[in-house]
Structure 1
């Protein structure tokens, strides 16, 4: 995610930092690199049926999860995130206090998930809900699940969307249905990761899975979605979409009765822009295309068939999901033209760093955000030249000059506010990666990033893995981490 703290704060910061910035128009033809990633075996799979009630802003859902025990331990229970419950009370809401009025322009509005029943092989399973925000679902298994064994877990539930213009909820133009279904917590060397929906950063950590989703909506709505829409069936003034999403980390969709849609493509990927203003919708589409071309060449091929950039009721800037990104509709105007390009490029880079190469975004938020932020700089360097890249790096140094005492290797919960989080995790992190590039040179730098991508696609990585990779290339990572060149 790329954070915009508020329109007023952003415009003041933008005017100061980018007054001297001038964009040099230049386009380069770039050949795509061969893709070497392979599909991970033994994925969890989700089959979900969701029907949307437009009046109540409610989803009626059932889903079957085929859960695979990819651990070395016998499991007696499974844990799932049920993120909508973080919106059930104002004190739970995943926004810092200063953002509440922007997040809830009509006042606080409740959202939640109601679990109705959980079964396995038609037998009831006991369950409980825990966590500081009541957003963790524990399902007790009737028998021990051994390593490599699978189990089907069937869940019926309802989801109430809040009138909120954050990631999850609805505004005047869009209905943002993200982080909405029970998704399995990651079990790694630390055990179950049951962290809640935090107020700062992107509080998500998930494994690659397969999704087969049926979405039943009123026919006035157009839909932007993770995955590929395989079919559309009309039924009683409603449309039923069958969506297939293989090898993705999450599943999200956005609805609007106001969308205009444009598309283009690069080789194996169809690119879509969903928007309300044609001029800037076209610009967003071109940036998405240019970004995919640049990152395909620099890091390795984007393996999915679709990618969508969606203008949304979303006040925080931009947010990434597999095959789909949300962009604040406030950026689709002349005064925000540069930042629209910056945010679209940033969220596109997240398709590599988060969507394909994943990590624990709560414990180690810098790992995807710093690399994504630096990838955004690389986009501008490739498209407009080294002079523009140097200006952006210089601006980052100016922004972080007062943050020299704060290191970037902290969890989201250790930051006091979104400003410190953004400056340290994004800007200081990107500067650290630029220092690594200077140390190893361009050939080694880009070869190593391509290797990192190809070896870790569809996996989750850690900071240690990332730093060890550079140590093998002779970088004193401890010195770099401490901010010394």
Structure 2
């Protein structure tokens, strides 16, 4: 997704004031468990759900309530924070503006509950008593979600049904507080902790389903419906793409010395599906060798209607239909890299979008540097990022008489998609390219492996990748600081 001069006079400690705790070793099992029983009705574009949520408190505090994100409410007609920017509305709303929402029908197992938040974006459930450390609570949440007709994460697209960020999901927890945020049309406005999942989806039998997690059963009833059941361990989220048009290509990827993953490509219109499948397999194998074994037993790439190039979820990537061949292969490699930088190692994508996007851009560039048969050159990608970033810098300097080049900033601070891409993607790649020029590719790879080892299944703070470089024997704190604070001269 040249020459570089960096100002190294900043004080690192003043820059990296952590908003969240650094990565620490904790119990390997997830503290949260979601059991989702779902039914999709294509005639009404509705998803009916019963969610059983079990949570063990492993914090030092004793929360008196639990807070869940209600991302589908961003698609309401009267939503304040829209999911689609004006520049992308034509691509997203293929049949004119369309709206969606999530309605909470009831909550059992707790006290009072209410829809709160700045934009009806939170479900707040009071507990019968404060949850002490080591105690567990189980809630049952009934809901109905209405999908918009939209080429977006959550919507009935032109080609498939996209079920991303569709259910009440516990807000990420930092220290003793829930992290609350509204939606944003730029970037990926999601922060969540890993959990275990048991999910079943009932829908018409002619739909093929690409899912996060491993399918453990599938049964067809006499009413023309089928129910597919999946499980997922230590996953940051759970998503589906469903379509009557899917064809499926599949293979195996070697993810460690003794492990493989089943790789599936669900496609609608692809002249060379084996090439796309091969790119997904080879990317999965390359990243496993470079950064640590892919942790899940399955990985699916699903071609669908989507107004951007792709979107990542644990063990599942959306791939926009209609991409040119090179764009499709690149998006496949980029989204696959997010299985490490987002799914495995989490970060605050609302405030530090560079942390996963920059790492994914760099990882994809390294992949193409090794797999030259795809005709995408690593150095060309880096030069292209530099050109795009410099063009952004020049335009904003002339128009706004100044350019905000900080990488550490919330999504709401970006003026639009153009600025977001220039900072999170282009400058993100430039940051990791500068690191490679400074300490060498092998050291960067070693540091990223250390980063994964320390922060797998956690939410990493901005200081954590820097600490990983330090453990690898190099001090790059000044370089990181100058990029993130906007002080680097590039």
| TM-score where L is the length of structure 1 | 0.88
Aligned to 1:470: 469
Instruction: Provide closer, same or farther for how the CA distance between residues 42 and 222 of structure 1 changes in structure 2, counting only shifts above 3 A.
Output: closer
Matched, 1:299 2:291: yes
The within-5 A match list for 1:3-82 is 40-82=28-70
SS at match of 1:423: helix
| CA shift in 2, pair 1:190/1:429, >3 Å | farther
Residue 86 (1) aligns with residue 74 (2): yes
Aligned residue runs from structure 1 range 421-432, under 5 A: 421-432=420-431
Matches of 2:225 and 2:376, distance apart in 1 = 52
In structure 2, the residue matched to 1:323 is 315
Query: Mean Cα displacement is larger for which, 267-276 or 438-447?
Result: 438-447
Cα separation, 2, equivalents of 1:281 and 1:185: 37
- Of the three residues 333, 337, 340, the one matched with 1:349 is 337
For residue 189 of structure 1, the aligned residue among 175, 190, 198 is 175
Match of 2:398 in 1: none
Cross-structure match for 2:458: 459
C-alpha contact 2:31 2:57 (8 A) present in aligned 1:
no
CA distance in 2, matches of 1:381, 1:151: 49
Query: Within the alignment, does 1:281 sit opposite 2:267 as a pair?
Result: no
* 1:396-435 aligned within 5 A: 396-403=385-392, 405=403, 406-435=405-434
Residue 388 (structure 1) shift: 2.3
Secondary structure of 1:144's aligned partner: coil
Q: Is the 8 A contact 2:29 2:234 kept in 1?
A: no
In 1, the alpha carbon distance for the partners of 2:219 and 2:336 equals: 31
Q: What is the match of residue 141 of structure 1?
A: 127
Give the structure 2 partner of residue 246 of structure 1. 233
Matches within 5 A, 1:67-216: 67-89=55-77, 91-92=79-80, 93-120=82-109, 125-189=111-175, 191-216=177-202
Q: What are the ranges of 5 or more consecutive residues in structure 1 without an aligned counterpart?
A: 3-36
Does residue 1:264 correspond to 2:251, yes or no?
yes
What is the CA distance between 1:70 and its match in structure 2? 2.3
TM (normalized to structure 2)? 0.87
Are 1:377 and 2:370 matched, yes or no? no
- Once the two structures are superposed, residues 337-356 of structure 1 have per-residue CA deviations (whole angstroms, 9 ceiling, x without a partner) of 11111110000000000000
CA separation of 1:91 and 1:382: change in aligned 2, threshold 3 A: same
Listed one character per residue, the Cα deviations across residues 246-305 of structure 1 (whole Å, up to 9, x for unaligned) are 111100011100000010112310100001124232222111011112111111110211
Correspondence 1:218 to 2:204 = yes
Partner of 1:13: none
In the other structure, the counterpart of 2:448 is 449
- Compared with structure 1, are the counterparts of its residues 39 and 215 closer, same or farther at alpha carbon in structure 2 (3 Å cutoff)? farther
Shift of 1:403: 4.5
Deviation digits for residues 421-471 of structure 1 (CA, Å, limit 9, x no counterpart)? 101111111111111122222332211111111221111101112223334
Give how far 1:476 is off: 4.0
Greater shift, 458-467 or 396-405, is seen at: 396-405
What secondary structure, in the 3-state scheme, does the structure 1 residue paired with 2:64 have?
A: strand
CA distance in 2, matches of 1:325, 1:282: 17
State the distance in 2 between where 1:107 and 1:327 align: 22
1:306, distance to aligned residue in structure 2 (A): 0.6
* In 2, Cα distance between equivalents of 1:479 and 1:452: 17
Task: Say if 2:111 and 2:127, in contact at 8 Å, map to a contact too.
Answer: yes
Alignment check: 8 A CA contact 2:41 2:47 kept = yes
Change in 2 beyond 3 A, CA 1:110/1:345? same
